[in-house]
Amino acid sequence: MKKETVAAAIALPFITATGLLDASERLYKFVFNRVNEVPPTSEEKQKYAADYYGYVDWLHTQPTRIWHLNGNTDEQLSAIFVPADQESNDTVIIAHGYKGNGETMANYAKMFHELGFNVLLPDSRAHGNSAGKYITFGWLDRLDYLDWITKIINYGGADTRIVLFGVSMGGATVEMLSGEKLPEQVKLIIADCGYSDINSELTYLLKQLYHMPKYPIVPAVSLINKRRQGFNLKQVSSINQLANNKLPIFFIHGEKDTYVPTEMVNENYAATKGPKQKWIVPNAAHAESFWINPEEYRRRVKEFLDEYLIE
């Protein structure tokens, strides 16, 4: 849906309480309802389409397995598991972005696979082949990822070493996961262009894309979400969760990101208490850092792994 259509759908009926409810409901459905198909990428990243589908084709040639959580229930979650070419104790969990799925992370999967990792590509709630009516923006997903971690440890044994990696909503997902009590097998985190908190992100996008104010619509959307998913938007905070993190974390963010503003990575960086590094990628838009220079991206990721993925 074009942004002009969204603005027309939600911006006009503000005058009455009924209008506010209608506008909030329209926005909630557009932002939070599950997706069954991955929408087209932004125009600025269309130039990478051939490379992207090359990575997807690579993934389709791998001896993948499908893993599930909550099997045969209406809460079943799905993931693609790609075993390393040589037996390995190292596994990366890759968290995808908003309205994507595990397959859309094929480029990162190939990068880690070439570095000798097993790769797990979950579909988050309300995405891909996973169940769910509403998108949780990483908040409830972080609890699912705890279960994926347990599944990996059961698969690989106590000597398993786990890396958490995510981009955009996936970056925020692993940042929020960092605040939970994680098993010792989780060694480090890499977060690419994750937002600081969804309340601020939604407020920013309303102003940036639709020239709409935070009040009264964002609080109204939060109330809708509280009724439907059990949490308000202020809870969905990478900053709050990172304050409890002690693991090494590498933050990556595009210098020209206008979807998740670059100042958010500075807030996330300041919040964490563990060893940390930050790379602001020159000229990169949102989730473009890998595509601008895949070799540089891989080199920096490998250097971080070499420094902190230790026995």
- Give this prediction's pTM: 0.94
The crossing angle, in degrees rounded to 10, of helices 217-229 and 17-32 is 60
For residue range 54-69, list pLDDT tens digits in order. 999 999 999 999 999 9
Q: What is the pLDDT of residue 266?
A: 98
- Given this model, what pLDDT does residue 142 score? 98
> Quick check: 16 pLDDT over 60?
no
| pLDDT value at residue 8 | 42
Q: Are strands 77-82 and 65-69 parallel, antiparallel or unpaired?
A: antiparallel
Q: Please give the average per-residue pLDDT across 284-306, as a whole number.
A: 98
Rounded Cα–Cα distance for residues 259 and 267 (Å): 16
> Mean of the pLDDT values across residues 4-27?
62
Residue 4 in this model has a pLDDT that exceeds 50: no
The token pair at 147 is 């279960």
Mean pLDDT of 25-29: 93
In the predicted model, what is the mean pLDDT of residues 289-301?
98
- Taking a C-beta distance cutoff of 8 angstroms, is the pair 277, 216 a contact? no
Residue 6 banded pLDDT, cuts 50, 70, 90: very low
d(CA 264, CA 261): 6
Give the residue carrying structure tokens 């790769």: 119
Which pLDDT value is given to residue 17? 55
Which of 74 and 145 is assigned the larger pLDDT?
Answer: 145
Q: pLDDT tier at 43 (50, 70, 90 boundaries)?
A: confident
* pLDDT on residue 293: 97
Question: What is the model's pLDDT at position 311?
Answer: 61
What is the per-residue pLDDT across 130-174, written as a single tens digit (0 to 9) for each? 999 999 999 999 999 999 999 999 999 999 999 999 999 999 999
Q: ∠ CA(127), CA(135), CA(60), 5° rounding? A: 15
pLDDT exceeds 80 at position 47: yes
Residues 72-97 have a mean pLDDT of: 96
pLDDT at 41: 86
For the ranges 39-53, 149-163, 292-306, the lowest mean pLDDT is seen at 39-53
* Secondary structure string (H, E, C) spanning the chain: CCHHHHHHHHHCCCCCHHHHHHHHHHHHHHHHECCCCCCCCCHHHHHHHHHHHHHHHHHHHCCCEEEEECCCCCCCEEEEEECCCCCCCEEEEEECCCCCCHHHHHHHHHHHHHCCCEEEEECCCCCCCCCCCECCCCCCHHHHHHHHHHHHHHHHCCCCEEEEEEECHHHHHHHHHCCCCCCCCEEEEEEECCCCEHHHHHHHHHHHHHCCCCCCHHHHHHHHHHHHHCCCHHHCEHHHHHCCCCCCEEEEEECCCCCCCCHHHHHHHHHCCCCEEEEEECCCCCCCHHHHCHHHHHHHHHHHHHHHCCC
The whole-number pLDDT of residue 35 equals 86
Judged against a pLDDT cut of 70, whether residue 11 lies above it is answered with no
Q: How does pLDDT run across 252-276, given as a tens digit for each residue? A: 999 999 999 999 999 999 999 999 9
Lookup: tokens for 202: 């939604």
At 44 the pLDDT is 82
Share of residues in the chain with pLDDT > 70 (%): 94
User: Taking residues 105-122, what's their average pLDDT?
Assistant: 98
Phi, psi for 186 (deg, rounded to 5): -80, 120
Cα–Cα distances (Å) from 18 to 10, 22, 80, 86, 163, in that order, read 12, 6, 44, 61, 47
Fold of 48-197+237-308: Rossmann fold (3.40.50)
CA angle 192, 196, 201 (to 5 degrees): 100
| pLDDT, averaged across the chain | 93
Cα separation, 213 vs 240, whole angstroms: 24
For residue 249, the tally of other CB atoms under 10 A from its CB is 26
- pLDDT score recorded for residue 7: 47
pLDDT value at residue 309: 93
Q: Which of 221, 210, 272 is nearest to 247 (CA)?
A: 272
- Residues 201-254 have pLDDT tens digits of 999 999 988 788 888 999 999 999 999 999 999 999 999 999 999 999 999 999
Q: Which residues pair with 160 in a beta bridge?
A: none
